[in-house]
Amino acid sequence: MDAEELLHTWLEGSALRHSTRAEYTREIGSFLTWCRRQSVDALTARPKDIAAWAAERHLAPYLDGRPFNGPDALAHLAQHHPEAARSHDRRISALTQYYEAAFDHGIITLPPNLTALRSGVTRPTGAKNRLDRMERATLFAVIGGWGPHHSKHYQRDRLAAWLLLEGLRPAQVIRVDKRHLYPQPDGTWQVRAPDDHEAVGKQFVLEPLTGAAIKDYLKVRPEPADPSDHALLLNDIRRPLQSRWVNKVIGQMCATHPLLADREPPVTADTIAHTGFWDTPTPG
């Protein structure tokens, strides 16, 4: 099956809305055309190829002469042109699902990790800020299915998502201090979330799924590059993560399922933090 055949086979059998299938046909079709003209095999394209396509076809007018080559360009896009950033992230979501389909069909052995190409733009003001029951159930499945073929740090990524569902805000998630994780005799965990002044803040008693994710991550967590750093979640160079990372990884995780990828407004880390693990019982 070639790249064009995969696109049509995947979309015909997908759960995406008709309007979204049309949009994905147009957007991914544009990428496949670009690949042919550049003599790039679309099915084995690298993130840098996708970045080159995005810059040439869509982003150049918004970058004010900057090359599209890293976090600074994405930050500029998110800050000064948020609508263009949201459209870009949606294209990355479409390609993420396309490569997931290629993996599921056995055409490729590993989907490209496109997390670094996401702007992680925040939720528009006034947008719906909680997932509904079905969306939340889908999110649980997406977190559980996020594995080593998605990210070499999949245990860390899962833990970040579970911490958001505990009600920690994105800025708190990246500042959780390993010294303030407290395993309890009954098998649960407590964590103190740092406040805006880096002081030890509110206590959270974590759900069993989050506790299990902590144990999984601690088995593989590297020692920090700087021994004075105590952040729980570390990046590729063993340093604390930056705030925009949380939205990027959540966007990439949600991009793997049509119900979440197709959602308007897009699912962000803040959306998940407002959602929580369970519905609040209705009094009465």
Write out the H or E segment, with its range, that includes residue 181: strand 181-183
pLDDT tens profile 52-65: 999 999 999 999 88
Question: pLDDT category, 198, cuts 50, 70, 90?
Answer: low
**Mean pLDDT, the chain, as a whole number?**
88
Mean pLDDT of 228-251: 90
Q: Give the HSE-up count for residue 124: Cα atoms under 13 Å, Cβ half-sphere.
A: 13
Of the listed ranges 131-135, 161-165, 215-219, the least confidently predicted one is 131-135
Render 68-112 in DSSP notation, one character per residue: S-SHHHHHHHHHH-HHHHHHHHHHHHHHHHHHHHHHHTTS-SS--
Residue with tokens 């959780």: 176
Could you say which DSSP state residue 42 is in? G
Question: pLDDT category, 197, cuts 50, 70, 90?
Answer: low
Q: Give the HSE-up count for residue 135: Cα atoms under 13 Å, Cβ half-sphere.
A: 22
Mean pLDDT of 107-134: 79
pLDDT tens profile 148-167: 989 999 999 999 999 999 99
Write down the pLDDT at residue 60: 92
Q: What is the pTM of this model?
A: 0.73
Q: Does the pLDDT at position 105 exceed 50?
A: yes
Judged by DSSP in three states, 218 sits in helix
Question: pLDDT category, 281, cuts 50, 70, 90?
Answer: very low
Alpha-carbon distance of 258 to 156, in angstroms, equals 23
Provide the terminal-to-terminal Cα distance of the chain, rounded to the nearest Å. 57
pLDDT tens profile 69-87: 888 888 888 888 988 998 9
Q: Are 107 and 247 in contact (CB under 8 A)?
A: no
Could you say which DSSP state residue 121 is in? P
